[in-house]
């Protein structure tokens, strides 16, 4: 009796854990979905036409079809006396109790001037079918018209570049006919890459960013490893105090050093050059990176150094021949963090770079948004262009991100 009770207790506990784990699993995925939505939405939006952006409910797949759609019978919206007028472009307006009905040229009007109309009464009929007419513009956009046999316009659609036509010139179509499929607008990326409203293309921004990033990462790698080597492998007076100072610089806000540093670079004549963004990386490479490298050096046994010393290696040789190859994963981590930092950095380029030809991707993207404030499809395409390299590096270098954080966050 006692025995069975115990087993069922364990069983129930197991079951309970299983249920809890299941609930957590669902929560984890629901959260992940929310986290990934902004990036997915960025890509989806980047492939839409301007019309497709502003729809409620939002469209998740940037493919849409245009179906010929018009009412055969135009009905009055109000009770009243019909008044007629004509626009300059030839369309007719029937006004009933202050409500203006626009009657296309191709429609047949069924009511006479000054007659009494009741709400819901058919006042005009549209042709049951029309003929497709396609007009191409110079900029590759098209206009698709549906006209009646006299050439009078029934309906008109402005089409973007990237479409698939289901109908051809001269086809006879009825309401409900599928006319066009609008495909993902890949040319949004072309438009975003070389924006008409900006002096520079993203070629330039990309090149500038690559130059700054490459030299920046090199500086960080060189100087942070050397400094970390000193902190990890040498005994000298004041080492621990200096190390503590180094760690505490992580808590100094950059703004407090920003202004004098700016003035210094101004006197050196370095404003609007890449030097202020690159040169400081060669002087230490940042407290976080030094700390990270030091942690890695500490894990390597001293015996290796001693053995190398006996073999006649000097400190430089120990550093470059023995130790550096052993901390490759740490170098990768520092390089990847450096890449992300340089790629995303905004404040420094904003302060130091003035002419658009020197802009980085981050600055270029910001300028882009000020010029294309509501063209969210182009803004999302530009954002995707800027983020893509980061996403690629992230997927290939994930391990190093995680290792880097784990090493520095824990052993400190």
Partner 1 sequence: MEKKSKISMSTHEAIWGYVFLLPWILGMIFFVGGPIIASLILSFCEWDLIQPPKFVGLDNFIKMFTSDKRFWASLYNTFYYTVFSVPLGIIGSIAVALLMNQKWKTVRLLRTIYYLPSVTAGVASAIIWMWLLNPDFGLVNYALSLFGIKGPLWLADETWSKPALIIMSLWGVGGNMIIYLAGLQGIPQQLYEAAEIDGAGLWGKFRHITIPMLTPVIFFNLIMSIVWSFQIFTQVYVMTGGQGGPSDSTLVLVLYIYQHAFKFHNMGYASALAWVLFIIILIFTLLQFKLAGGWVHYEGELKK
Residues in 239-258 at the binding interface with partner 1, rule: CB under 8 A: 239, 242, 245-246, 249-258
Among 9, 11, 15, 29, binds partner 1 (CB under 8 A): 29
- Closest CB to partner 1 among 177 and 377? 377
- Closest CB to partner 1 among 307 and 405? 405
- Closest CB to partner 1 among 165 and 279? 279
Taking the complex as a whole, the smallest distance from the CB of residue 227 to partner 1 amounts, in Å, to 4
Taking CA atoms, 280 is separated from 143, 159, 348, in Å, by 56, 52, 12
The secondary structure element, H or E, covering residue 164 is strand 163-165
- Residues numbered 51 to 80 that lie near partner 1 (CB under 8 A) are 53-58
Taking the complex as a whole, the smallest distance from the CB of residue 55 to partner 1 amounts, in Å, to 7
Q: How many CB atoms lie within 10 A of CB 173?
A: 19
Contact call for residues 338 and 221 (beta carbons, < 8 A): yes
Among 42, 206, 275, 331, binds partner 1 (CB under 8 A): 42
Instruction: List, in sequence order, the alpha helices (H) in 234-270.
Output: 239-248, 254-267
The Cα 70–Cα 153 span in angstroms is 12
Q: Which stretch binds partner 1 (CB under 8 A): 30-38, 126-134, 144-152, 204-212?
A: 30-38
Determine the longest span between alpha carbons in the chain, in angstroms: 114
Taking the complex as a whole, the smallest distance from the CB of residue 39 to partner 1 amounts, in Å, to 7
- Residues numbered 108 to 127 that lie near partner 1 (CB under 8 A) are none
The Cα 281–Cα 337 span in angstroms is 13
Site string for partner 1, 285-324 (x = CB under 8 A): x----x------------------------x---x-----
Phi-psi region at 289: left, alpha or beta (left = phi > 0; alpha = psi -120 to 50): alpha
Q: How many CB atoms lie within 10 A of CB 207?
A: 12
- Residues numbered 262 to 281 that lie near partner 1 (CB under 8 A) are 262-264, 266, 280
The Cα 183–Cα 160 span in angstroms is 9
- Residues numbered 355 to 394 that lie near partner 1 (CB under 8 A) are 362-363, 365-366, 369-370, 376, 379-380, 382-383, 386-387, 390-391, 394
The Cα 359–Cα 382 span in angstroms is 15
The Cα 255–Cα 259 span in angstroms is 7
How many residues bind partner 1 (CB under 8 A)? The answer is: 95
- Closest CB to partner 1 among 29 and 99? 29
Written as six digits, the tokens of 286 are 């940042």
- Residues numbered 184 to 223 that lie near partner 1 (CB under 8 A) are 223
Q: Which stretch binds partner 1 (CB under 8 A): 87-95, 102-110, 199-207, 235-243?
A: 235-243
- Closest CB to partner 1 among 4 and 370? 370
DSSP letters along 76-93, please?
-SS-EEEEEEE-TTS-EE
């Amino acid at each position: 009796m006692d025995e069975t009770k115990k087993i069922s207790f364990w069983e129930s506990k197991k079951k309970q854990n299983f249920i809890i784990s299941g609930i957590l699993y669902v929560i984890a995925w629901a959260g992940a979905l929310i986290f990934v939505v902004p990036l997915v939405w960025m890509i989806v939006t980047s492939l839409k036409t301007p019309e497709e952006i502003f729809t409620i409910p939002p469209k998740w797949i940037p493919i849409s079809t245009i179906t010929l759609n018009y009412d055969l019978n135009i009905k009055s919206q109000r009770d009243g006396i019909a008044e007629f007028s004509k626009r300059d472009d030839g369309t007719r307006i029937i006004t009933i109790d202050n409500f203006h009905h626009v009657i296309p040229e191709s429609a047949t009007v069924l009511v006479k001037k000054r007659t009494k109309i009741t709400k819901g009464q058919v006042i005009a009929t549209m042709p049951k079918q029309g003929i497709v007419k396609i007009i191409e513009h110079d900029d590759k956009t098209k206009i698709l018209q549906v006209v009646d046999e006299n050439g009078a316009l029934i309906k008109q659609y402005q089409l973007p570049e990237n479409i698939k036509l289901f109908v051809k010139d001269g086809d006879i179509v009825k309401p409900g006919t599928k006319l066009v499929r609008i495909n993902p607008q890949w040319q949004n990326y072309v438009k975003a890459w070389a924006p008409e409203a900006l002096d520079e293309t993203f070629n330039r921004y990309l090149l500038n960013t690559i130059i700054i990033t490459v030299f920046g990462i090199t500086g960080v790698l060189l100087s942070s490893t050397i400094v970390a080597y000193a902190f990890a492998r040498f005994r000298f007076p004041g080492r621990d105090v200096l190390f503590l100072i180094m760690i505490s610089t992580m808590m100094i806000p950059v703004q407090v050093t920003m202004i004098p540093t700016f003035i210094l670079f101004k006197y050196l004549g370095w404003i609007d050059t890449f030097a202020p963004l690159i040169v400081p990386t060669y002087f230490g490479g940042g407290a976080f990176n030094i700390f990270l490298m030091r942690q890695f050096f500490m894990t390597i046994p001293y015996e290796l150094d001693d053995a190398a010393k006996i073999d006649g290696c000097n400190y430089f040789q120990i550093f470059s021949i023995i130790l550096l190859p052993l901390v490759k994963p740490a170098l990768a981590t520092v390089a990847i963090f450096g890449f992300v930092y340089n790629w995303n950095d905004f404040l420094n380029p904003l302060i130091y770079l003035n002419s658009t030809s020197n802009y980085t991707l981050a600055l270029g993207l910001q300028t882009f948004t000020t010029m294309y404030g509501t063209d969210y499809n182009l803004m999302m395409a530009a954002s995707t262009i800027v983020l893509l390299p980061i996403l690629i590096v992230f997927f290939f270098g994930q391990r190093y991100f995680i290792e880097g954080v784990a090493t520095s966050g824990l052993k400190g």
